[in-house]
């Protein structure tokens, strides 16, 4: 069925998915070294348990969760731990990184167990936690935490997110086309864990082959299941927007999807959950779309976590000379990185090489009040007014204009003819306002 509800705002960037939408997923030969960041997820960084010089085998745990909202990390291939030190990570920051010099053995051949349907949900969540599964759509929230809602919260609908609204990216798209059965099984496992009566598979209408593949995989499912076809629009796949499109429910400001009885999981996460529950396989690799005008042979690559970006680029024919920007993730919310040394993370859905032709150079001007950002904002904010307040460091005014509701999707800055760094203003404003709030609360306690 078509999605019944239409989100406000949104933009239609040039999608440019044709380069890789038809390209089958290809496995990358095992890189010589892997740099596995211990801060791939949201929350407390993982604590390394492997020692420098230690030999590790594929699937061995090299770091354990550093707290409740944290995740385990495993060695994607066997080899020797060369270093545990701070290195640049794909999010543009530095993080404690385990560097493994691989020795060629990648696979761990654990067979599928027969029947997951007899497992207790608690046992399944435990397996998900053991496998170090985190949200692979981009945010990287530890999945086992998400699957353990606090008592009193019931989740009636699980939404499987196959929207992939970011331009260029086709990793989830190809996964649905080529591996629909496992995606579907993962979704069923997630539904059973949550005890959700409804399951919605949401896909944008620019991926007809993925829709067909998922429909075939879902054949014979019960009444609680439906495939929802979304209008192609950015940011259709953002959590709050997706829930609204599919269910017509608005996640309250400052709240979580579970407050409206919904939970969203990415299709790649579903596959990782399936592997964790059915075969107790840890999350060791993922599909990354390597594309953009600066990549000579764009491909969808299945690569181990921690693969240096340089290896991905080399596998795809290298960079063209006019490449000026390397982006990890999609062009709307991805991070520009300075070096190709960093290793991929579990959340790395794309690696883009952008050339001068497609990269905007910002020379920002004063706001000319065109109102396009107001029209484009999916959250109903007024980015133009907000950015003027934030420029003047008037954080109280920004708070009153709900800066904390910003999802940093980038629609405003995409549209802005004055090339104002609106998202950067918002990010900084959110951080400052959050600090101010904490200060106020601690003062109130005093």
Our CB check for another protein shows the closer of 25 and 413 to be 413
Q: Work out how close the CB of 348 gets to another protein at its nearest, in angstroms, rounded to a whole number.
A: 15
76 vs 15: CA distance, rounded Å: 32
Our CB check for another protein shows the closer of 124 and 413 to be 413
Q: Work out how close the CB of 203 gets to another protein at its nearest, in angstroms, rounded to a whole number.
A: 22
Determine the angle formed by the axes of helices 267-279 and 180-194, rounding to 10 degrees.
80
Q: Work out how close the CB of 100 gets to another protein at its nearest, in angstroms, rounded to a whole number.
A: 20
End-to-end, the C-alpha distance of the chain in Å comes to 54
19 vs 27: CA distance, rounded Å: 18
DSSP string, 317-340: T-B-TTEEEEEES-TTT-EEES-S
Q: Work out how close the CB of 314 gets to another protein at its nearest, in angstroms, rounded to a whole number.
A: 17
76 vs 42: CA distance, rounded Å: 20
Show the tokens assigned to 365. 């001007």
Our CB check for another protein shows the closer of 195 and 360 to be 360
Our CB check for another protein shows the closer of 59 and 292 to be 292
Q: Work out how close the CB of 44 gets to another protein at its nearest, in angstroms, rounded to a whole number.
A: 20
Q: Work out how close the CB of 246 gets to another protein at its nearest, in angstroms, rounded to a whole number.
A: 15
Our CB check for another protein shows the closer of 128 and 332 to be 332
Show the tokens assigned to 315. 């596998």
Q: Work out how close the CB of 360 gets to another protein at its nearest, in angstroms, rounded to a whole number.
A: 4
Q: Work out how close the CB of 123 gets to another protein at its nearest, in angstroms, rounded to a whole number.
A: 35
Our CB check for another protein shows the closer of 200 and 372 to be 372
Q: Work out how close the CB of 354 gets to another protein at its nearest, in angstroms, rounded to a whole number.
A: 6
Sheet holding 73-74, edge to edge: 47-48, 61-64, 73-74
Q: Work out how close the CB of 186 gets to another protein at its nearest, in angstroms, rounded to a whole number.
A: 29
Q: Work out how close the CB of 299 gets to another protein at its nearest, in angstroms, rounded to a whole number.
A: 20
329 vs 286: CA distance, rounded Å: 13
Which residue is associated with the tokens 């991929």?
Answer: 344
Show the tokens assigned to 306. 């921690």
Our CB check for another protein shows the closer of 232 and 385 to be 385
* Residue from 203, 193, 205 nearest 161 by CA: 203
Do 172 and 240 form a contact (C-beta atoms < 8 A)?
A: no
Show the tokens assigned to 50. 């492997």
- Please state, in angstroms and as integers, the Cα–Cα distance from residue 445 to each residue in 399, 433, 441, following that order: 21, 18, 6
Our CB check for another protein shows the closer of 176 and 354 to be 354
Phi, psi of 228 (to 5 degrees): -110, 125
Determine the angle formed by the axes of helices 267-279 and 171-178, rounding to 10 degrees.
50
Our CB check for another protein shows the closer of 151 and 254 to be 254
CA 318 to chain centre: 25
Our CB check for another protein shows the closer of 211 and 412 to be 412
Our CB check for another protein shows the closer of 211 and 260 to be 260
Q: Which residues contact 354 (CB under 8 A, 6 or more apart)?
A: 292, 293, 294, 323, 324, 325, 326, 327, 331
Whether cis (ω within 30° of 0) applies to the bond prior to 410 is no
CB burial class (10 A; 0-12, 13-18, 19+) of residue 283? buried
């Amino acid at each position: 069925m078509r999605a019944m509800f239409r989100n406000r705002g949104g933009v239609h960037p040039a999608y440019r998915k044709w380069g890789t939408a038809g390209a089958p997923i290809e496995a990358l030969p095992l890189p010589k070294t892997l740099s596995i960041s211990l801060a791939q997820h949201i929350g407390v960084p993982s604590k390394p348990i492997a020692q420098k010089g230690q030999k590790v085998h594929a699937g061995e745990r090299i770091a354990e969760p550093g707290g409740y909202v944290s995740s385990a990390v495993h060695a994607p291939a066997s080899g020797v731990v060369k270093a545990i030190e701070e290195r640049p990570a794909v999010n543009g920051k530095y993080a404690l990184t385990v560097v493994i010099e691989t020795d060629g053995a990648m696979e761990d051949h654990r067979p599928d167990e027969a029947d997951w349907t007899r497992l207790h949900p608690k046992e399944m969540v435990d397996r998900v936690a053991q496998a170090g599964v985190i949200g692979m759509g981009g945010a990287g929230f530890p999945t086992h935490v998400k699957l353990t809602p606090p008592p009193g919260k019931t989740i009636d609908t699980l939404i499987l997110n196959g929207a992939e609204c970011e331009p260029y990216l086709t990793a989830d798209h190809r996964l649905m086309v080529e591996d629909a059965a496992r995606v579907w099984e993962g979704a069923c496992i997630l539904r059973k864990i949550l005890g959700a009566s409804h399951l919605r598979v949401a896909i944008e209408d620019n991926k007809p082959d993925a829709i067909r593949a998922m429909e075939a995989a879902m054949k014979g499912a019960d009444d609680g299941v439906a495939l929802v076809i979304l209008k192609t629009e950015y940011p259709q796949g953002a959590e709050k927007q997706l829930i609204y499109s599919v269910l017509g429910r608005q996640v309250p400001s400052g709240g979580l999807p579970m407050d409206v009885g919904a939970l969203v999981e990415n299709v790649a996460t579903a596959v990782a959950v399936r592997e964790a529950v059915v075969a107790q396989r840890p999350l060791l690799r993922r599909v990354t779309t390597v594309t953009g005008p600066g990549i000579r042979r764009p491909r969808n690559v299945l690569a181990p976590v921690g693969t240096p970006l340089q290896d991905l680029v080399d596998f795809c024919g290298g960079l063209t000379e006019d490449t000026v920007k390397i982006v990890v993730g999609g062009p709307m919310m991805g991070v520009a990185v300075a070096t190709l040394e960093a290793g991929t993370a579990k959340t790395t859905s794309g690696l883009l090489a952008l050339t001068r032709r497609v990269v905007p150079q910002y020379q920002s001007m004063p706001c000319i009040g065109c109102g396009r950002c107001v029209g484009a904002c999916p959250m109903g904010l007024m980015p133009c007014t907000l950015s003027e307040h934030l420029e003047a460091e008037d954080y109280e005014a920004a708070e009153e204009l709900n800066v904390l509701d910003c999802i940093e999707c980038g629609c405003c800055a995409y549209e802005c003819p004055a090339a104002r760094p609106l998202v950067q203003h918002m990010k900084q404003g959110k951080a400052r306002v959050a600090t101010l709030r904490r200060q106020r609360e601690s003062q109130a306690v005093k």
